Amino acid sequence: MVIVGAALFMSASTDDAFETSKQLEVFTAVLKQVQTSYVEDVGAERAVGSAIKGMLKELDPYTVYYPEDQIEDVRLLQTGEYGGVGCVIQKIEKDIYISELNQIGPAKKAGIQVGDILKKVDDTKIEDFSISEVSSLLKGTPDSEVSVVVERAGTEQSFVFNRANIKTKAVPFYGMRSDGIGYLYLDGFTASAASEVRDALLELKKENPKGIIFDLRGNGGGLLMAAVKIVSYFSDTKDTIVSTRGRSGKIQDVYYKTGKTLFPDLPLAVLVDNRSASASEIVAGAIQDLDRGVVLGEKSFGKGLVQQIRQLPFGAQMKVTVAKYYTPSGRCIQKVNYDRDENGKRTEKAAQQQFSTNNGRPVVDGDGVHPDSTLTDEYYPEFVAAMGAKGLDLQFAATLLDEMETEEPKSFTLNDSQWEKFKDFLKANDFTFESLGERRLKKLGEATSELDYLENEDIEALLEIVKVRKGLVLQDQDMEIKEYLEDFLVQKHFGIEGTLARGLQNDIQINTAASILLDADTMNELLGVK
């Protein structure tokens, strides 16, 4: 089926009507043989679905087919809304856990809790199901009934309730810092994103901020026009904000400022990380190229492709890549090359080119948006990553969330009793982990027979030292582990709003961004102002 899909792709790309018709006839014949002659029954939906997936796999990861039963996923992409139960799920080993709950969603109202293990959705047992498969089962038309069986503390419990229209906020949090810097976090570029950003900025404007931090960390993108409008709130430029080019590099559209500028010259910092993609990179790239503000954080993801939603027969839809976008300086930040030659072979990625911002600062294409200043995130011990991989942080959170009902997210700290409870929890679960240092030492130990002046006993002695030090991690790195647990518990109990409110004053990157905004000399240096 994959080969058939690839053949269809190649013939369509040459725009040869006869060849397309020929390949479709061949495909129909193959489908008929599979359905009538194959040793096992293969339904038409399964067979054609596999062919479609095979064809699209030859393109890029962003061209996606959505059958009718996955249309809620498309609605979520476009509007930030979907029909479902209001939860985030996480797979730990073979189990699917409830990781987060919408504070006003039907799952939470029905009594489902963070840390519950999903066992059954309606009549379907979900053992060995993937995250996406379980997510599809939970989503559905608002007001439709769903039954869920979960395991909690070793006992199964059943819940029956109706799905609802779940709406996620594009701007879940904004606020003023004590130093006079305004802060705004954008979660996604949905249909309401521009209006939500505008409303938040107007509220911040009433406080006469000394600068604005626009946080796009973790923002995977969305609608292009939302990005254009948002850039317009910060810049009154008459230059191009973004342009798109389709097949053969032909310019499709050029987008200029739209809407009233709210902060034409207030010091601005845009925070990005390696998950900031697509529309996030349009905003960051435009702000950087126009020298309107500084981009801080980590290099962004590097997605310079534009998708559109197309309607298909029988309620299906398709998200298809139609163009590449270019920032004001003329660069495309697309990191991975998906272009293919006439034989279907992926072509080599072109060498990076250098472009210039309005102030003459050098920027490059083909590798995401590089920050004007790199900001590192908080460091957590290996212990934390190992614990998270086993889902023990989530399971511990489930035992403690009831104690947080009267807590404030900004000021929550683990008390001594809760810290002891955490240590007892780890002991009860026999938690152990192998550190990176141990793995490397063991590898070196395997090679000692080929090395001079080094014996396996030497490695064993070092491993013993690591073992002793690792056993003291809860004592030696208690502050870092407590800080992680406090942030994690706030996230699970209060959701993204509580997490962002907590980070407003103690997030390292936000604090650094604020200090940069308040230092005119540093801002001028980063922006190339002479």
**pLDDT of amino acid 9:** 44
Ordered alpha helix ranges (H), 256-356? 279-289
Asked if pLDDT for residue 8 goes beyond 50, the answer is: no
Quote the CA–CA distance of 51 and 322 in Å, as a whole number. 21
Mean pLDDT (whole number) for 382-393? 91
**Residue 5's pLDDT band (cuts 50, 70, 90):** very low
Quote the CA–CA distance of 493 and 481 in Å, as a whole number. 18
Q: Locate tokens 């790199």: which residue?
A: 374
Task: Report the C-alpha dihedral over residues 49, 55, 60, 62, rounded to 10 degrees.
Answer: -30
Q: Are 79 and 111 in contact (CB under 8 A)?
A: no
**What DSSP line would sit under 337-379, residue for residue?**
---B-TTSPBPPPPPP-EEE-TT--EEESSS-PPPSEE-----
Mean pLDDT (whole number) for 303-315? 91
Name residues whose C-beta falls within 8 Å of residue 270's C-beta, 6 or more positions apart in sequence: 214, 216, 283, 284, 287, 288, 293, 294, 295, 296
Please write the tens of the pLDDT for every residue from 226-260: 999 999 999 999 999 999 999 878 888 999 999 89
Q: Which helix (H) or strand (E) holds 205?
A: helix 193-205
Active-site residues, by number, are 278, 289, 303
Please write the tens of the pLDDT for every residue from 455-511: 888 888 888 888 888 888 888 889 999 999 999 999 999 999 999 999 999 999 999
Please write the tens of the pLDDT for every residue from 47-95: 888 888 888 888 889 999 988 888 888 888 888 888 999 999 999 888 9
Please write the tens of the pLDDT for every residue from 266-297: 999 999 999 999 999 999 999 999 999 999 99
Other C-beta atoms lying within 10 Å of the C-beta of residue 522:
14
Q: Locate tokens 């802060």: which residue?
A: 183
Mean pLDDT (whole number) for 337-359? 85
Residue 194's identity, in one-letter code, is A
**Residue 21's pLDDT band (cuts 50, 70, 90):** confident
Lowest mean pLDDT, pick from 72-76, 279-283, 353-357, 381-385: 72-76
Asked if pLDDT for residue 96 goes beyond 50, the answer is: yes
Calculate the alpha carbon distances from 324 to 12, 158, 303 in Å. Answer: 20, 48, 9
Calculate the alpha carbon distances from 104 to 86, 99, 107, 138 in Å. Answer: 8, 15, 9, 16
Rounded to the nearest 5°, which phi and psi values hold at 175?
180, 175
Q: At what angle do helices 44-57 and 17-37 cross, to 10 degrees?
A: 140
User: What are 503's two structure tokens?
Assistant: 């980070």
Please write the tens of the pLDDT for every residue from 140-194: 999 999 999 999 988 999 999 999 999 989 999 999 999 999 999 999 999 999 9
**pLDDT of amino acid 15:** 57
Other C-beta atoms lying within 10 Å of the C-beta of residue 460:
13
Strand partners for 175: 183
* pTM for the whole structure: 0.89
Burial readout 327-359 (b: 16 or more C-beta within 10 A, e: otherwise): bbbebbbbbeebeeeeeeeeeeeeeeeebebbe
First to last CA, the chain: 61
**Residue 401's pLDDT band (cuts 50, 70, 90):** confident
Quote the CA–CA distance of 325 and 254 in Å, as a whole number. 10
Q: Locate tokens 């491993």: which residue?
A: 463
Cα angle 64, 66, 71; round to 5? 135
Asked if pLDDT for residue 124 goes beyond 60, the answer is: yes
**pLDDT of amino acid 153:** 84
Quote the CA–CA distance of 428 and 393 in Å, as a whole number. 14
CB-side neighbour CA atoms (13 Å) of 162: 6
**pLDDT of amino acid 238:** 94
Asked if pLDDT for residue 10 goes beyond 50, the answer is: no
Q: Locate tokens 């229209």: which residue?
A: 165
Asked if pLDDT for residue 4 goes beyond 60, the answer is: no
CB-count exposure of residue 193 (10 Å: 0-12, 13-18, 19+)? buried
**Residue 11's pLDDT band (cuts 50, 70, 90):** very low
Asked if pLDDT for residue 440 goes beyond 70, the answer is: yes
Across the chain, mean pLDDT equals 90
Quote the CA–CA distance of 83 and 76 in Å, as a whole number. 9
| CA-CA-CA-CA torsion sign (415, 419, 422, 427) | negative
Q: Beta strand pairing status for 95-101 and 87-92?
A: antiparallel
